[in-house]
């Protein structure tokens, strides 16, 4: 059964996927370490800490120290996952990530909960809306956000198996479980949910569900949609974006600033190819507020309705 036909009823936070998968990885490989920044309960690493105390370090509220410790562990052949909130794991640790992890190309994974607007009522200080954009500009860094529980588990597993720095972004809030447990994912390769000929929609993370629901409505109105889950924004699947230029009209959807995130990455490819139109739906270069998650999405136009209306406008204005 395709996602277009599936009834999506279950919701899980992707931070829970990380917590479950890191325990499984710890059972398989004693070189897997978790470096906690004193918020293990919130970032879902408590089970790992309890089961593998010798593979776990809590540095306290000291993100930069955690990054440095992880770099040191990586030089000894360990595979450390630094676990904190996305706003701290990207911005507060940025210098250490650049100088101590990415510059020497060390095998460190930055695994961050509370990505995008999903912290919601925690307020603007905890809503990471610049994180993927900041880190994708650093050489050697891979940047990933899975759309749901099962895709996130698969991508965390692959991140552990590949060599090099990886940034993994998770949701605080629950999001719909889209994929089956046995669905396969490859870092750097888009997951095509549906092919189409009138409009291409490229989404990632918690917005994939919104894009899927919008695609269903558009199909009911006779608009054929090509729908892509771009879980990896660096390295971006350039070939998949170029293929969308056969349609020529693209919408990107993300829970991130429209500057320097998925939308910007897609626009770079389109501009270099010299053809095509892109409309970016995401956080409108503004800070969040303390409000329910759905309200914050609506404030930024990250809604099913806006995706549908934007698609209709592009298709009708030939």
- 255-295 pLDDT, tens digit per residue, is 999 999 999 999 999 999 999 999 999 999 988 888 999 99
Structure tokens at 160: 């552990």
Distance CA 211, CA 213 (A): 6
By CB neighbour count within 10 A (0-12 exposed, 13-18 middle, 19+ buried), where does 60 fall? exposed
Beta strands in the chain (DSSP E): 11-13, 32-36, 56-58, 79-85, 109-113, 142-144, 166-169, 174-176, 191-194, 199-203, 225-229, 232-234, 249-257, 277-283
Distance CA 277, CA 314 (A): 9
Distance CA 35, CA 153 (A): 19
Distance CA 89, CA 188 (A): 22
Contact 110, 167 (CB under 8 A): yes
For the chain, list residues with pLDDT below 70: 1, 318
Question: What is the model's pLDDT at position 121?
Answer: 83
Question: What is the model's pLDDT at position 1?
Answer: 60
Question: What is the model's pLDDT at position 156?
Answer: 98
- 38-81 pLDDT, tens digit per residue, is 998 889 999 999 999 999 999 888 899 999 999 999 999 999 99
Closest CA to 38 of 80, 88, 75, 99: 88
Q: How many CB atoms sit inside 10 A of residue 145's CB?
A: 34
Question: What is the model's pLDDT at position 230?
Answer: 98
Structure tokens at 238: 């350039």
Distance CA 101, CA 264 (A): 25
Residues with a catalytic annotation lie at 63
Question: What is the model's pLDDT at position 124?
Answer: 84
The 3-state DSSP composition of the chain as helix, strand, coil percent (nearest 5) reads 45, 20, 35
Q: How many CB atoms sit inside 10 A of residue 125's CB?
A: 11
CA distances from 311 to 199, 223, 279, 318 (A): 7, 9, 9, 12
Distance CA 310, CA 222 (A): 15
Exposure b/e, 73-99, CB count within 10 A at least 16 = b: bbeeebbbbbbbbbbbbbbbbbebbbe
Question: What is the model's pLDDT at position 264?
Answer: 98
Contact 282, 263 (CB under 8 A): yes
Question: What is the model's pLDDT at position 187?
Answer: 98
Q: In what order do the strands lie in the sheet with 109-113?
A: 56-58, 32-36, 79-85, 109-113, 166-169, 142-144, 232-234
Distance CA 271, CA 278 (A): 10
The answer for residues whose C-beta is within 8 angstroms of residue 8's C-beta and 6 or more apart is 176, 177, 178, 209
Look at residue 15 and give its three-state secondary structure.
Answer: helix
């Amino acid at each position: 059964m395709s996602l277009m036909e599936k009834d999506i009823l279950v919701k899980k936070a992707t931070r829970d996927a990380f917590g479950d998968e890191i325990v499984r990885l710890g059972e398989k490989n004693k070189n897997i370490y978790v470096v906690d920044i004193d918020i293990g309960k919130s970032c879902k690493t408590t089970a790992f800490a309890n089961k593998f105390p010798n593979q776990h370090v809590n540095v306290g509220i000291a993100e930069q120290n955690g990054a440095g410790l992880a770099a040191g562990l990586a030089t000894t052949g360990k595979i450390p996952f630094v676990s904190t909130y996305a706003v701290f794991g990207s911005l507060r640790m940025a210098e250490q990530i650049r100088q101590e992890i990415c510059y020497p190309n060390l095998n460190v994974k930055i695994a961050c909960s509370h990505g995008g607007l999903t912290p919601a009522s925690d307020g603007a200080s905890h809503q990471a809306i610049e994180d993927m954009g900041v880190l994708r500009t650093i050489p050697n860094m891979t940047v990933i956000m899975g759309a749901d529980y099962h895709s996130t588990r698969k991508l965390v597993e692959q991140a552990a198996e590949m060599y090099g720095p990886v940034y993994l972004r998770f949701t605080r809030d629950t999001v719909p479980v889209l994929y089956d447990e046995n669905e396969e994912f490859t870092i750097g390769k888009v997951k095509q949910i549906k092919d189409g000929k009138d409009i291409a929609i490229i989404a990632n993370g918690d917005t994939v569900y919104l894009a899927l629901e919008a695609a269903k409505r558009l199909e009911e109105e006779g608009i054929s949609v090509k729908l892509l889950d771009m879980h990896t924004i660096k390295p971006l699947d350039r070939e998949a974006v170029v293929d969308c230029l056969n349609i020529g009209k693209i919408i990107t959807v993300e829970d991130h600033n429209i500057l320097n995130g998925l939308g910007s990455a897609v626009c770079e490819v389109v501009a270099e190819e010299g053809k095509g139109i892109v409309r970016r739906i995401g956080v409108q270069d503004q800070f969040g507020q303390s409000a329910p998650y759905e309200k914050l999405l609506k404030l930024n136009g990250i809604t099913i309705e806006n995706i549908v209306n934007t698609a209709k406008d592009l298709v009708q204005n030939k």
